[in-house]
Amino acid sequence: MNDHLAMGPGREFDAVRALLAQWGPAARGVGDDAAVLDVPVGEKLVVSTDSTVEEVHFRRAWLSAEEIGWRATQAALSDLAAMGAAPLGVLLALTVPRDWRAALPELAAGIGAATGAAGAPIVGGDVTDGDRLALAITVLGHARRPLSRAGARPGDVLYVTGVLGGPGAALDAWMAGREPGDVARARFARPEARIAAGQWLAAHGATAALDLSDGLAGDVAHLAAASGVACVLELDAVPCLAGVRVDAALQSGEEYELLVAAPAMDAAAFAAAHAGLRLTAVGRVEALSPVGAAGAVRAERGGAPVALPRAHDHFAR
Amino acid sequence: MNDHLAMGPGREFDAVRALLAQWGPAARGVGDDAAVLDVPVGEKLVVSTDSTVEEVHFRRAWLSAEEIGWRATQAALSDLAAMGAAPLGVLLALTVPRDWRAALPELAAGIGAATGAAGAPIVGGDVTDGDRLALAITVLGHARRPLSRAGARPGDVLYVTGVLGGPGAALDAWMAGREPGDVARARFARPEARIAAGQWLAAHGATAALDLSDGLAGDVAHLAAASGVACVLELDAVPCLAGVRVDAALQSGEEYELLVAAPAMDAAAFAAAHAGLRLTAVGRVEALSPVGAAGAVRAERGGAPVALPRAHDHFAR
């Protein structure tokens, strides 16, 4: 980690030293100008940057510092999951306002727990002063055949991992001044990047994937557009958290579950390999018809066409 | 690039679309969850993250938006130069306050010019709202034998590239309410990561290197500590910008020149290969003596020991 003028060399070095002591062997290669890593021969390097910012992605009253660190790190790692990649390392650019400094060890504990769960060492980063807590997290991974959004083919089935609607329900409760239920809150506060699931799906014939960051309705449209196909969503099939309606589940963003297109898959084998995690068929991929090109996503209920609920912005309401 | 709630999907997508249109083919692989890159077989992956934050690393009145983008990107790329690595790609996490949005194209022009000069494609990133302009820049590179700070050996010569003191003189002027001279200002506003020089030095036997971010006096101490050696600086040999005293040049940080340890090198061949860039011997590496271990850096003038000026913090004055 490099030092910066802001905190003064002494103070920042102290903060960085404390972080490194806390992370122990989970932080490697930090101290040189850059970290040195090996990408396995024959594999591609997969990289992504993802920022989590106070008042943009969460409010301080909602989450503990440990949860903020965990969630920001898992959100970044989720991009590796979507590519079917194995983690190689994580770099952190932390902006820490004065009134957050006392919470830094707790924040670091959440980051360290998340990188540890993913088996990803912390290989670099820096700490700077600022007005809002912000975590810009770069994740590095490797994959022999990275999944993209662009490979879905007519005839593929659309699957989602897990159960949807929790983060949206939690945000809806907080925005209405209520405390969310425990399960919905945990889905927002403690998401799990589907790293192992992404690699399993890539190895079992997935043709395209992305993580659910905008909500299923919006992300199916992204997959359809990138792949140049039409998608049909079976609303009755969408796996919803207990108490969440399908309309709300379709709009629930930041799920960090995976949406994949694939020939028919063995959901039981998937669940057995991932501690019971569900893999649910929620639709199918069709060829773009010249007539239907403008609306590349259609919704059905029991085979009959219905309107697709629009995505919404929880913070903007 | 992923979208974030803050700016609203529409507004952020517009900002990202405008950036991508401006960068054109210089931005690649953006649009999937992560970018896919190849590290040449037999080479190591080299990665680093570096943040530039308004009011921490610069003040808005000092620099144009184009210069801020250029400088932040070159500062990040400088870590690849210090490792003797060739650039592979750059990821950007931009925090853009409302009153900076109109300047985004100019900022992007500076970033694009800097990545273009280094031959590094922009492979990912995100844009979020915030209170201060901040650029967290992750650089990826590759090298067969990356240089570290830790390889200097007794008998090596210490070299620096370029001429020192410009950024410190510029900061001193601004902090005193004066406008700096053109040359000092340009050294602060338009640094050049010594990418080609770093690779040349690695190929010609450099044993250790780092970029001058804290000032020569402080960075020699970092090299000595990491390598477990003592270093002697010949103050009369330090190449200073015209009008800058050696004491000030030793304390001038964010130079983005390289400090290297190496057996004797051919400075004329180096200059010929790098458009006349200077390579100057400024000292030597010695074994740590049990007595001198605590103070691993000594200064001399004409062979006689003198006190080493202490590093200082321009902003903290």
Mean pLDDT to the nearest integer, A226-240:
95
Cβ–Cβ contact A149 with B under 8 A: yes
Contacts of A140 in chain B (CB under 8 A): 45, 47
**Is beta strand A134-143 parallel, antiparallel or unpaired with respect to A44-53?**
antiparallel
Closest residue by Cα to residue A33 from A108, A122, A126, A95: A126
* Residue-level pLDDT at B118: 96
* Residue-level pLDDT at A314: 46
Closest residue by Cα to residue A133 from A180, A49, A63, A28: A63
Both tokens of B267, joined, read: 């400075």
- How far apart (Å, rounded) are the C-alpha atoms in residues A171 and A246? 16
B214 is in an annotated binding site: yes
B125 SS3 class? strand
Q: Which amino acid is at A268?
A: A
Confidence of residue B92 (pLDDT cuts 50, 70, 90): very high
pLDDT over 90 percentage in chain A:
78
Average pLDDT value for chain A: 90
Residue showing tokens 């699931």: A197
Closest residue by Cα to residue A208 from A191, A231, A187, A192: A231
Contacts of A8 in chain B (CB under 8 A): 313, 316
Is residue A295 predicted with pLDDT exceeding 60?
Answer: no
Cβ–Cβ contact A102 with B under 8 A: no
Both tokens of B7, joined, read: 């700016």
Tell me the CATH architecture of domain A157-316: Alpha-Beta Complex (3.90)
* Residue-level pLDDT at B317: 33
A153 is in an annotated binding site: no
**Is beta strand B208-211 parallel, antiparallel or unpaired with respect to B258-262?**
antiparallel
Is residue A160 predicted with pLDDT exceeding 60?
Answer: yes
A234 is in an annotated binding site: no
Confidence of residue A28 (pLDDT cuts 50, 70, 90): confident
Torsion of CA A48, A52, A53, A54, to 10 degrees: 180
pLDDT in tens, B187-227: 999 999 999 999 999 999 999 999 999 899 999 999 999 99
- CA of B142 to nearest chain A CA: how many angstroms apart? 9
- CA of B241 to nearest chain A CA: how many angstroms apart? 22
Instruction: Return the HEC string of B126-189.
Output: EEECCCCCEEEEEEEEEECCCCCCCCCCCCCEEEEECCECHHHHHHHHHHCCCCCCHHHHHHHH
Mean pLDDT to the nearest integer, A265-275:
98
Is residue A1 predicted with pLDDT exceeding 60?
Answer: no
* Residue-level pLDDT at A8: 34
Contacts of A138 in chain B (CB under 8 A): 47, 49, 91, 93, 138
Q: Do B49 and A226 touch (CB under 8 A)?
A: no
**Nearest-by-Cβ selection for B53 from A6, A148, A315:** A6
Is residue B114 predicted with pLDDT exceeding 50?
Answer: yes
**Nearest-by-Cβ selection for A56 from B6, B85, B311:** B6
* Residue-level pLDDT at B55: 87
Fold annotation for B157-306:
Phosphoribosyl-aminoimidazole Synthetase; Chain A, domain 2 (3.90.650)
Cβ–Cβ contact B201 with A under 8 A: no
Average pLDDT value for chain B: 90
Domain boundaries, chain A: 8-143, 157-316
- How far apart (Å, rounded) are the C-alpha atoms in residues A208 and B156? 54
Task: Please give the residue that has the higher pLDDT: either B33 or B162.
Answer: B162
- How far apart (Å, rounded) are the C-alpha atoms in residues A164 and A212? 9
Class of the CATH-defined domain B8-143: alpha beta
- How far apart (Å, rounded) are the C-alpha atoms in residues A92 and B43? 24
* Residue-level pLDDT at B32: 80
Backbone φ and ψ for B165, nearest 5 degrees, come out as 110, -15
pLDDT in tens, B10-29: 455 577 778 888 888 888 76
Domains A8-143 and A157-316 share a fold: no
Cβ–Cβ contact B317 with A under 8 A: no
Looking from the CA of B212 toward its CB, the CA atoms found within 13 Å total 32
* Residue-level pLDDT at B291: 58
Cβ(B248)–Cβ(B207) below 8 Å: no
Is residue A305 predicted with pLDDT exceeding 60?
Answer: yes
Is residue A151 predicted with pLDDT exceeding 80?
Answer: yes
* Residue-level pLDDT at A93: 94
